[in-house]
Amino acid sequence: MKGVFLSHKILPMVAGSWLIVAGAEGQAPIWSDEFDQVGAPNEAYWSYDLGDGGWGNNEIQTYTNDSANVRVEGGYLYITAQEQQLKGKRRSYTSARIKTQEKLTVRYGTLEARIKVPNLADGLWPAFWTLGRDFPEVGWPACGELDVMEMGSQSAIAEGLVNRRVGSTAHWEHGGGYAGYGLTLDAPTDLNNDFHVFRMEWTPDFVSTYLDGQQIWVIDISPGACTDCTEFHQPHFIILNMAVGGSYTGLFSYRDITATFPAEMVVDWVRIYDNGFTELSGSAIPGTEAHVEAINVGVSGRKRVRGTADVQVRDEKGDAVAGADVTVQFSGSFNETVTATTGGDGWAAFTTSGRVKSPSFQACVTDLVHPSMAYVPVDNVEECANF
């Protein structure tokens, strides 16, 4: 999404058309957002970039999280650029930029999005792209950037191809400076009349992009070909946005913008497929291993009391695990086995049926079953507690 610049100082080895990559047809995604809820984008997956200031590209819109600019409805994500009339015939613009930062990151894999762009003429700049997870620490371009799809470029405007030309670009740091490599593909017809699938294939050796299965661009990122491309071997997060104006479009003032508003970038789905190298991480990815994090014991009642236990279950990432069936064995003053299921906070509550005066007992977790996670007792922080 940064401006597309071709570095003449350092170019990676670029593979030719001999690279053949199979599509994802028939394969189940390992992660997807089908946008099947209503309202704001799923907060488990998406957050927002907010504000103005040009975003490093001289963009002239302000990004918001207002429903007028971003919403999910009828099975689609809508990113809507809006125009506001100001005094003196001046105009301002709002739009949206959503990202999976700190919620979902991917290293290698097949990334796809089915997108319908609006009429871009002239000044609209939709994009589907990724940034390196370490962006907050190292900044750009050291974090790396992979542009799966950008449209609305200055060259496309000049050549009357603004609704046909799709660009893909890699940006990275090289020798303390900037390096970039990008190409474009001109579709035979305008792309704003229907949905199209934009895909990126990312392996340890190559990154390539496609429009409806036709290759746009490919770059060799293997160590022998690209000696300073570590940015493309680190996890990235996904971004969807639509800018107004900016360096990519060559339009920097409201006076230059001729596009029709409101303008909607519509996304049917975003999917990630495993290509044999894929690694996913982040809070949106459920854990695969469960353990007991804590056990608290007590009593309930007055003269003759019942024994109680509260057990907390977490996964290997430290997140609460819901839906785990936990079995606790009470011994001592009570001799009972009780099973309960963890709630959304990862806690399950247990109470004995028997009552005693002045109890002394122990409660131990003897089993934990979850439909999609393995119980790993060696990771237990606690297994028993005494009262």
- How far, in whole angstroms, is CA 380 from its chain's centroid? 30
- 231 catalytically annotated: no
Q: Which residues contact 89 (CB under 8 A, 6 or more apart)?
A: none
Annotated catalytic, 264?
no
SS (H, E, C) 103-115: CCEEECEEEEEEE
Phi and psi, residue 88, nearest 5°: 70, 25
- CA dist 367 and 374 (Å) reads 11
- Please tell me the chain's helix, strand, coil percentages from 3-state DSSP, rounded to the nearest 5: 5, 45, 45
Cα(331)–Cα(297) distance, rounded to whole angstroms? 12
The C-alpha atoms of residue 55 and residue 157 are separated, in whole angstroms, by: 22
Q: Are 43 and 69 in contact (CB under 8 A)?
A: no
Tokens of 138: 């190292």
d(CA 257, CA 260): 9
> 59, 150, 173, 201: which is the annotated catalytic residue?
150
| Pairwise CA distance, residues 263 & 174, whole Å | 37
How far apart, in whole angstroms, are the C-alpha atoms of residue 151 and residue 130? Answer: 15
- DSSP lists the bridge partners of residue 271 as 32, 112
For residue 342, the number of C-alpha atoms closer than 13 Å in the C-beta half-sphere is: 29
Please check whether residue 310 is in contact with residue 364, taking contact to mean a CB–CB distance below 8 angstroms.
no
Residue of 112, 145, 231, 293 marked active site: 145
What H or E segment, with its residue span, contains residue 158? helix 154-158
Active-site annotation, residues: 145, 150
